Structure formats: structure tokens, C-alpha cells
Amino acid sequence: MKPYLAAALQMTSLPDLEKNLVQAEELIDLAVRQGAELIGLPENFAYMGEEADKVAIAERISTTTEQFLKTMARRYQVTILGGGFPVPVGKNQAHNTALLIGPDGEELSRYEKVHLFDVNLPDGNTYQESSTVVPGRQLPALYKSEKFGNLGLSVCYDVRFPELYRHLSKNGAEVLFVPAAFTAYTGKEHWKVLLQARAIENTCYVIAPAQTGQHYDRRQTHGHAMIVDPWGVVLADAGEKPGVAIAPIDPNRLSQVRRQMPSLQHRIFA
């Protein structure tokens, strides 16, 4: 692997599939023009609306989104992660699926979100992802790439469960994807520190695309899509508006950190 530029896109997705994909394409184009070769889209990038409304049109979202990702990857000759969209698994149910697509439009890796966001927050908002989403039953597989290093997938709420990332790092992960739609309430306290923790404890790069702003009703997300290096240094932060966080992924930096802090070699418990 040689150094390359990665991009974590930041969107304000709405309950409108077509508008969201237009926004996504504009940001992909922006990232490519800045030199990005590996691009991540956030959770719910294709549709950000009420769970019941989303699952009602999940078949259309799934089919359209998968074709969109393949078209974008081929058109721009990049590798793209679609960070979370519904793939139907039954009546009024879907998997929250992250999909990695290569420059030839072929599927490289697929992960179905395991940890579902069922939470009553102190700000009065209640989230019940499990009302429509079926959790995945498998830990994410590692995608091994000569060009980009060993890539591990996850989605949003997974970031609170370090055992998932330890599984990936034990299997050789070098770059961790954390596409998200983090709530504004939890994001201001937890988003950055969780990403840094996952990077530091696994000595991996973290690429974290994000949703930001107001989406519908009271649904508001934190933003701050970012890329974090293996030492926990934030290399790029997209702030609070739609845009792109772009930064180099450098194998020399990865090797340096792992030499200086060889914690993965010092594990006592598997």
C-alpha cells in the first residue's frame, strides 16, 4: 500500500431519495476533484426519514442506491462505501447495510449493522431502530486491499462496542470505517472521543462519514465527519455543514505508531 487520500462525506439527507443522491454525487465529485481515491458516505445517505416511511419504500431505496453506488464508482474510478441503507428482508423489515464497491462497479464487501439504536435520550427524543431493522448476525469481514490496506466496516452505533473493532484489528485491520448519523445530543459529548478511542486502541486509521443538521421533525444530527490517525490525531473535520473531510492514509505513519505503541502485541485476553 502506498499513501492515498481518503474522504469522509458529510450530508444533510432528507426523506427524499432523489434529492439525496444528487447531493451525494455532488460531494463525491468534490472529493474526487481533491484527489480522493477511497470515499465514504454516511449512514442513511440515501434516505433520512421516519423508520416506518423508510421501510415502506425499502425495496426502491435498496435497488436505486446499489445501482447509484456502482455507477459512481465506475464513473469516477474510485472505491466507495455506502455507509448504511435499508435492504429488505421481509414485510416491513430491512437490514441496515453498508456496501463497499470497487472502481469496476463490483461489490467488495457487505456488512449488516449488528447493534441497533434503541434509546430514550434525556432531550426527549426516542429512537427504536429495531422496530423496522433486523440486526445482522455476523461480525464484519475484513476486506484486504493492496491499494488501500485492510478495511473494516461498521455502522454508527457500533462505535460504542469496542469488541467489534478488536475483532477487526485482530484480523489485521488498518483502516476502520464508521459511517454514522449520530444524534446532535450524544454527538457533542461522545462522537469525537469514541472515534479517537477506536483509532488509538486498535492503532488504525478511522474514516467516519456523518450526517449533519436538521432532517425531519425533531431529527437533528451532530456532523463533524472526520478522519483520525492511529495515534488519535484528527486529520480532518468537516464541521457542521455538508462537505468533505479529506486526509492522507499513510502506511508509514501506521507502521511508525505501531512500532512506538505496540499494544496490539501486548494483548493478554483474546
Which pLDDT value is given to residue 218?
Answer: 80
**Cell numbers at residue 185, please?**
445530543
191-214 tens-digit pLDDT: 999 999 999 999 999 999 999 999
| Distances, alpha carbon 16 to alpha carbons 45, 89, 125, in Å | 10, 22, 22
pLDDT (0 to 100) of residue 253: 98
pLDDT per residue as tens digits for the range 84-118 = 999 999 889 999 999 999 999 999 999 999 999 99
Q: What is the mean pLDDT of residues 157-163?
A: 98
The residue whose grid cell reads 450524544 is 186
List the helix and strand counts (H, then E) for the chain: 6, 16
- Cα angle at 141 between 135 and 145, to 5 degrees? 140
Phi, psi torsion values for 199, nearest 5 degrees: -70, -45
pLDDT of residue 254: 98
Active site residues: 43, 113, 156
Residue 270 has pLDDT above 80, yes or no: no
Q: Where in the chain does DSSP place strands (E)?
A: 4-11, 38-41, 79-90, 93-101, 107-112, 118-120, 126-128, 142-145, 149-152, 175-177, 205-208, 210-216, 219-222, 226-228, 234-237, 243-249
Across the chain, mean pLDDT equals 96
Cβ atoms of 236 and 246 closer than 8 Å: yes
What is the average pLDDT across 142-157? Answer: 98
Residue 266 has pLDDT above 80, yes or no: yes
By the 8 A CB rule, do 8 and 225 touch? Answer: yes
Higher pLDDT, 221 or 126: 221
Contact 179, 83 (CB under 8 A): yes
206-257 pLDDT, tens per residue?
999 999 999 998 899 999 999 999 999 999 999 999 999 999 999 999 999 9
Q: Which domains, and CATH codes, for the chain?
A: 4-266 (3.60.110.10)
pTM for this entry:
0.97
Q: How distant, in Å, are the alpha carbons of 33, 213, 245 from that of 163?
A: 36, 30, 26
Whether the per-residue pLDDT at 124 is higher than 90: the answer is no
State how far the Cα of 135 lies from the Cα of 115, in Å rounded to an integer: 7
pLDDT at 217: 84
80 confidence band (pLDDT: 50, 70, 90): very high
